[in-house]
Amino acid sequence: MNMQIKPILIALRRHKAGTFLIALQIALTLAIVCNALFIIHQRLANLSERSGVDEANVFVIQNQWAGDRTQQQIDAQMQADVLALRQLPGVRDAAPISGGYPLRGGGWDNFVTMTPDQVKPTTDSAVYLGDEHLLDTLGLRLIAGRNFRSDEVHGMGTEQVIIPPVVIVSKALAERLFPDGSALGKSFYAMGSTPSTIIGIVDLLHRQGASQWDKAHAGQSLIWPARLDDVAGTFYVVRAKPGQLAAAMREAPKALYAQSRMRIIDPKDGIQDYAEIRHRVFDSDRGMAILMGIISAVLLAITAAGIVGLTSFWVGQRRKQIGVRRALGATRHDILSYFLTENLLIGIAGVAVGTVLAIGINLWMVTRFEMDRMSMAYVGVGVIVLLLLGQGSVLAPALRASRVSPVEATRSV
Amino acid sequence: MFGYYLELAIRSLKRSPGLTALMVLAIGFGVAASMTSWSVFRAVSGDPIPWKSSQLFVPQIDTWGPNGRSADGDPPNAMDYTDAVALMRDHRAKLQSAMYEISPSIVPADAAKHPINVSGHAVYSEFFPMLDVPFKYGTGWSARDDQNRAQVVVINSKLNQKLFGGANSVGKSINLERQDYRVVGVLNDWNPQPRFYDVVNSGGFSTEGDAVFMPFQTAIQAAIPNDGNTNCNAVPKESGFVGLQHSSCVWIAYMAELDSASAVTAYRNYLNGYARDQQQAGRFSWAPNNRLRNLPAWLDSQHIVPSDTKVSLLVAFGLLLVCLVNTVGLLLAKFLRRSSEIGVRRALGAPRAAIYTQFLTEAGIVGAAGGVLGLLLTAVGVASVGWVLPKDIAALARLDVSLLLLTLLVAVIATMLAGLYPTYRASRVQPAWQLKSN
């Protein structure tokens, strides 16, 4: 092998342009494919993010009020509504939820501070409002403390300012605020002058959104015991008994309309199960992953085809020389390994440049598009894929070259 | 002579169908990917009101002070009620409007029908002339209606179709939140993308246009709540919608028309004067830190073009670049394989220019074929872009004549550029050497 490298390099010097073009193509492909792979992997990770919700059985109703109602009327109506929902045969539990619901794609969040006059907030938390049925309805797992009692739940008017004295937080928020694990029983401030004391901690509760801001505060959520009597409307979450999701989703609006007709539940998207909710919130992530996948596949295919094309040309051009070598005693294997080695050398040059390019592009995207730093593993995978792709592509023309008969040396035309 | 080159080129391309197909495919895919992403990018980065965008300005007032500023020192991107109403009262621009998003329910007279929900904005009368909003029937309301808090609305043609069967409904009334409002105007189709007058709430794009517009103060008086975002630096001291109006929470969009550079300067001075007055009055404890951006600069500052769209465009251009490098390589192989043919032609007296014409013609044909394939693939791409992009944005991507022409043009020009180096090499072939070796 070692013996062969020098003659290959000398030969390549006579094909500067072709060598340069293949190396350039490999470099560009590597740079793009690494970054695309990185984007795909990140987006797929988003898609599989866990919400903490019993997604197989839970659905959400967007209920808007029509006509005038006082806050008291809305509060009474909401209590009557959830009672009616809970009595449906296919329903395990139901609760009002405000501030949005997990994976809604946006909602209410508050800054959190440890003292009331702290200027720079400690962190940011998603805010959910619900009653003592919310934990069971969403299927959240309480890992410490207790649930709300019904006497802790109060009605709250639109934009009203009552900071409830008790709060249930997600484990992520508890650990962020009290890293020593002593969160239970401690209190914090969430943009108010009165503290909320942590009475319960749930294992996992996703925020409403999946944006960059949400990722920076991933999983940090709190639940306050309140019914938000918003004049615009409210969300109801309903947890069906296992296997009865479809039936419960059919019955729920009927039960609500039977309570009062003066409401609007959009027939198109007023009721959504978690499959739909998840699909919607991660729409663009899935799209980007697919798009990057397609582009990477096309890129690799074109690069492979390009290598096949150029190497075939070189083989065609050098038939005479190959014939001479064969006549002088070179084995088929020697010829084959000549072309494989040649391609490997070009490939190594290409991936070397490509690695620099790939990292450069990633660093530029970090500053320009708020992306994360790419781990070198992607570059490693990309390098191996491209070198193998090169060897695979060159195999067919190289085999053809190895079959050139020594007689060709004597044919001068 | 060109006809001869064309024939030569086609004959040569036919001689190696595999290589030709490969080049055409590469160009086709590269161009199609770029053009599809371009169509999306063009749609989301377009100027929604090109004839006027440089005269429309969005003022930002630093209501929150140093702690509420963004990382680059910008004040909030919406206004609180106090500032919005003060700016409207001072009325220093040629035309201006504060606005907020509403979502009232329409209760049909027929009790058997379900109420429906419509989205819209509460705006001032100058909103319509300022944004050149097209009317099908009637007009907007008057400044007097603003002052008198008149019970009037402007509806869009879709809602007019739904409620009045598309007939001229000016003068008829509709019931919003149990109050009657007189229709004064019906819009022609109007749903600018991005929805530039209130990008903070729409995120820029929405397939559904606003159905209802009503006077700002009428909506405030009827307590029709804000349906858009509310951002607070502190929890409001009072409850309810009135509490929101008294708070420092920001939820109101604002736009002003300023026709000349001097008007812009004057308005900027006015805003600074306003902020200083607030500082003196003790409401602000910081120096003025306002912004006044025209519409294109405002849309840019709000990052209206999603970064996914930009990344897709860059990656697609990257793909095109690789396809072109690939084509350079393949054309080089193809042309140099015919060194002996070139040698013969040169020996028989063909000048270098003739070689250039011949081979660039060949590259052009590959480009044209790639362009045609690219056209088909672009059409497929634009039609299926909804699979990979959010609906609101995908719906904006259109296949039009300019995109088709651009696709062909890019394909042909790019391929001819790719053919330049191989052609140069071909023209350098030494006739004597070729003839000798044969």
pLDDT tens digits along A52-110: 999 999 999 999 888 778 888 899 999 999 999 999 999 999 999 999 999 998 888 98
Same-domain pairing of A255 and A326: no
Question: pLDDT category, A159, cuts 50, 70, 90?
Answer: low
B95 and B39 together in one domain: no
Write the DSSP assignment of A215-238 as a string of letters. Answer: HHTTT-EEEEEEEEE-SSEEEEEE
Instruction: Confirm if B140 and B148 have CB atoms less than 8 A apart.
Output: no
Q: How far apart are CA A381 and CA A338, in angstroms?
A: 25
Pairing outcome for strands B253-257 and B56-60: antiparallel
State both tokens at A165.
């004295």
Residues B110 and B216 in one domain: yes
Q: Measured between alpha carbons, how far is A401 from B1 in angstroms, rounded to an integer? A: 39
Are A233 and A306 contained in the same domain? no
A131 in a structural domain: yes
Q: Does the pLDDT at position A341 exceed 50? A: yes
Whether the CB-CB separation of B227 and B103 falls below 8 Å is answered with yes
Q: In chain A, which residues have their Cβ closer than 8 Å to the Cβ of B387?
A: 287, 290
Amino acid B144: pLDDT: 94
Q: At what angle do helices B307-337 and B401-427 cross, to 10 degrees?
A: 40
**Residue B68: per-residue pLDDT:** 83
CB contact under 8 A, A262 and B115: yes
pLDDT of B438: 47
Same domain, B231 and B183: yes
In this predicted structure, the answer to whether residue A2 has a pLDDT above a threshold of 60 is: no
- Say yes or no: A325 and A244 in one domain: no
Interchain contact A56–B (C-beta under 8 A):
no
Per residue in A30-49, pLDDT (tens digit) is 999 999 999 999 889 888 88
A82 and A209 share a domain?
A: yes
Same structural domain for residues B241 and B323? no
Q: Which pLDDT value is given to residue A411?
A: 67
Counting as low any pLDDT under 70, the low residues of chain B are 1, 435-438
- Are A158 and A243 part of one and the same domain? yes
Q: Could you give the CA distance from residue B254 to residue A90 in angstroms, rounded to a whole number? A: 49
| Shared-domain flag, residues B74 and B162 | yes
Same domain, A112 and A184: yes
Q: pLDDT at position A380, please?
A: 93
Asked if residue A63 is part of any domain, the answer here is no
The DSSP call for residue B97 is E
Please check whether residues B102 and B217 belong to one and the same domain.
yes
- Please state the rounded mean pLDDT for residues A172-178: 94
In a domain, B336, yes or no: yes
Same domain membership, residue B81 and residue B34: no
Q: Is A74 among the domain residues?
A: yes
Distance between CA atoms of B163 and B152, rounded to whole angstroms?
16
**Letter for the amino acid at B85?**
V
CA distance A9 to chain B (A): 19
Establish if B241 belongs to a structural domain. Answer: yes
Q: Which residue has the higher pLDDT, A189 or B203?
A: A189
More confident residue, A410 or B265: B265
Residue B330 touches chain A, beta carbons under 8 Å: yes
Contact A291 B244 (CB under 8 A): no
A129 lies in a domain?
Answer: yes
* A145 in any annotated domain: yes
The separation between CA B7 and the C-alpha centre of its own chain, rounded to angstroms, equals 45
* Interface residue of B39, B64, B100, B105 to substitute, partner A, most A CBs within 10 Å: B105
A212 touches chain B (CB under 8 A): no
The residues pairing with A197 across neighbouring beta strands, listed in sequence order, are A166, A187
Answer yes or no: do A246 and A377 share one domain.
no
Q: What separation, in Å, do the N-terminal and C-terminal C-alpha atoms of chain A show?
A: 32
Place of tokens 């582009």: A295
Residues B327 and B243 in one domain: no
Greater confidence (A302 vs B202) lies with A302
A222, pLDDT greater than 70: yes
Q: For residues B19 and B334, is the Cβ–Cβ distance under 8 A?
A: yes
Q: Are residues A43 and A73 in the same domain?
A: no
- Its domain, for residue A138, covers 68-261
Q: Are residues A78 and A41 in the same domain?
A: no
Domain residues for B406? 2-47+306-437
Q: How many degrees, rounded to 5, is the angle at CA A279 between CA A295 and CA A61?
A: 160
Instruction: For residue A271, tell me if it sits in a domain.
Output: no
Q: Which of B25, B107, B238 sits opposite A66 (nearest CB)?
A: B107
Give residue A3's pLDDT band: very low, low, confident or very high (50, 70, 90): low
A39 plus A84 within the same structural domain: no
User: Does residue B290 fall inside a structural domain?
Assistant: no
Q: Tell me: do B31 and B128 sit in the same domain.
A: no
**Which chain B residue is nearest to residue A263, measuring alpha carbons?**
B115
Number of separate domains in chain B: 2
In a domain, B300, yes or no: no
| Residue range A235-240: mean pLDDT, rounded | 96
Q: B-chain residues within 8 Å CB-CB of A270?
A: none
Report how many Cβ contacts below 8 Å link chain A to chain B: 166
Quick check: B328 contacting A, CB < 8 Å? yes
Show the 3-state SS of B171-217.
Answer: CCEEEECCEEEEEEEEECCCCCCCCHHHHHHHCCCCCCCCCEEEEHH
With respect to residue B291, please indicate whether it lies within any of the assigned structural domains: no
CB–CB contact A305 B337 (8 Å): no
Q: Would the pLDDT of A413 be above 60? A: no
User: A306 and B177 in contact by Cβ < 8 A?
Assistant: no
Instruction: Say whether both B27 and B158 belong to one domain.
Output: no
B18 with B66, same domain: the answer is no
pLDDT value, residue B436 = 66
Q: Is residue A299 part of a domain?
A: yes
Beta strands A154-157 and A196-202 are unpaired
How far is the C-alpha of A164 from the C-alpha of A316, rounded, in Å? Answer: 82
- By the 8 A CB rule, do B99 and B252 touch? yes
Taking the CB of residue A48, how many other CB atoms lie within 10 A of it? 8
Residues A398 and A321 in one domain: yes
B390 touches chain A (CB under 8 A): yes
The answer to whether residue A181 scores a pLDDT higher than 50 is yes
Of A302, A365, A369, the CB nearest to B322: A302
User: Is B103 found in the same domain as B229?
Assistant: yes
Contact B243 A160 (CB under 8 A): yes
Per-residue pLDDT for A316 more than 90? no
Asked whether the predicted pLDDT for residue A246 surpasses 70, the reply is yes
Percent of chain A with pLDDT over 90: 56
**pLDDT reported for residue A161:** 63
Contact between B284 and B278 under an 8 Å Cβ cutoff? The reply is yes
Domain assignment of residue A222, yes or no = yes
User: Min CA distance, A56 vs chain B (Å)?
Assistant: 24
pLDDT of residue A372: 82
Instruction: Tell me what the mean pLDDT of segment A134-148 comes to.
Output: 95
Please give the tally of structural domains in chain A.
2
B256 close to B268: Cβ distance less than 8 angstroms: no
Tell whether A18 lies on the interface with B, counting CB pairs under 8 A: yes
Place of tokens 């108010």: A192
